[in-house]
Amino acid sequence: MRILLLTFYHGLGHVVRCARVGAELAAAGAEVLVGTAEPARHIVAARGLDSFAVAELPPFPPRRADEEPPPPAADGRIRLADPDYLATALAEERAAIREFGPDLVIVDFRVTGAVSAALEGVPAAWIVNTGFFSFPFPQVVRDVVPELKRLGVPPETARRILGDVLYIPDWSRFDPLSGIESGAALRSLNEIRHVGPVLKESPARMPSRAEARKRLGVEGDDPLVYVSLGGTAQGFATLCEVAPRLGRLPARTVLVTGPNIPLDRLPDQSADLALGYTEDSMLWTRAADLVVTHAGHTSTMEALCLGTPLLAIPGHAEQEWNASRAVTLGAGEILPADAVADGFLPTAERLLSDRPLADRARDVAGVLGARDGATALAGHALDLAALAALERGPR
C-alpha cells in the first residue's frame, strides 16, 4: 500500500506529527511519501522517509510588541486564500498523487490536500484538533472555498476540505466534538476518530529523567527549565520579555527560539543554552523540571505525557484552551502574556520549588502517557488504504 502525507509547515508540530505517523506506516510495510516545505524536509529525512518539496506561504516575521503588525490583505481575506498559492498547491499535490499513486492521502492542515485527492479520485484523511473549527476553519470556508471554485474546482469538491475521515490527535475528554460549532463542517466526512496525542515519540518509550539528562549532557541535578514558545514567530513579543530574565532563575535554562526567530534578534537573552532548533524537544521536556511554553497542542501534550510541570504563556484562544487542561489536571499554571514582565520570575521560581506539583505532574503522565495516538492513527489509516486498494483493483 502507498500513503502520501501532505503537511503544512507553520508551525513545526504539523510536520513533526506527520513524520511520526509516516514512520509508523513505513514500519508496518507501507510505501510512504511526504510533501512539505523545503525547510522542513530534514525533519522527515530524520525518520528515514522520502519527501518532496511543496510551495508554502512565507512565515510571519518576528515582531516586538512595539512594532506595527503587517497590514491586512486589501480584500480582508486570510493568507491561505491567495489564488497563486492555491493554484500552485493544487498543481503540485495533484502531480505528486498521479506520479506516486497513493491508496490514501493524509493531510495535516494543508487546505488543498484533500481537495487534490478528491480531484484525483483518492480518499483522504485530515489530522486536526477541534480548535481549528473555531479558527481558522470558518475563514477557510468563507475565503478559500470560493477561491477554489474560481480556480475551476467543482463546488462539491471545493467543499471537501476535510476529506473523508477526520483524525483528532487527542482524547475526546479534552478535545470534544462539542467544540465544533458548525455541523456544515462535517458533511463531507464518513468518520471522525479520536486517536490520542500524536507526539514525536511514544511517551512510554522515552527514557527516564536521569537518562534524558545524561544523553543531553546535563551534568548534576540542578533544576532545569526548558523554554520554547513555538515554531512560528508569533510568540516573539513574549519571548522578548522572557529571554532576558532566564539568567536570573535559580536553574539551568535552555531556550529554543524556533526556525523563524534568529538568535541575533534576542541579543539580551540570558539562557545557559540557546538553540534555534532541536530534534530533541521531548528529551529536553523529560529532562526538565519546568517547561515554559506558548501552549501549542504538541508542546502541551509532551509536558503532560512526560510528567513535567508547565508554565503556559498562551497567545490566543486555542492555546488558552490547551493550557487550561494542565491547570484542570493540576500539572501547571497559566501566566497571561501581559503579566510576563512582572510575573514571570516569581511564578517560575515558585513552580520550580513546588514538590506537590511535580508529584502531580508525574501522576498525570502515568495516565496520559500510556496511549500512543500515532500507532492508533497509522493502524486505522492502513485499514482505510487497504479498503481503497481493494476497490481500485490491481495497479
Tens digits of residue pLDDT in 149-167: 999 999 999 999 999 999 9
Per DSSP (E only), the strands in the chain are: 2-7, 31-36, 50-53, 104-108, 124-127, 165-168, 191-194, 224-228, 252-256, 273-275, 290-293, 310-312, 332-334
Q: Do residues 394 and 34 make contact, with C-beta atoms less than 8 angstroms apart?
A: no
3-state secondary structure of 120: coil
pLDDT at 23 over 70: yes
CA distance 252 to 47: 30
* Res. 382: pLDDT tops 80: yes
Quick check: 106 pLDDT over 80?
yes
Exposure string (b/e) for 90-100, b if CB count within 10 Å is 16 or more? bebbbebbeeb
Q: Measuring CA to CA, how many Å separate 33 from each of 49, 168, 265?
A: 7, 22, 35
Q: How confident is the model over 226-239, as a mean pLDDT?
A: 89
- β-pair partners for 314: none
Select the more confidently predicted residue: 178 or 146.
Answer: 146
Kindly indicate the confidence band of residue 182, based on its pLDDT and cuts at 50, 70 and 90: low
Q: Which residues pair with 193 in a beta bridge?
A: 167
Are the C-beta atoms of residues 297 and 170 closer than 8 Å to each other? yes
| Residue 181, pLDDT score | 65
Could you tell me the pTM of the whole model? 0.93
**Number of C-beta neighbours around residue 213 at 10 A:** 22
| Banded model confidence at residue 66, pLDDT cuts 50, 70, 90 | confident
What does the buried/exposed string (b/e) look like for 38-58 if buried means 16 or more CB atoms within 10 Å of the residue's CB? eebbebbeebebebbebebee
Mean of the pLDDT values across residues 298-307?
96
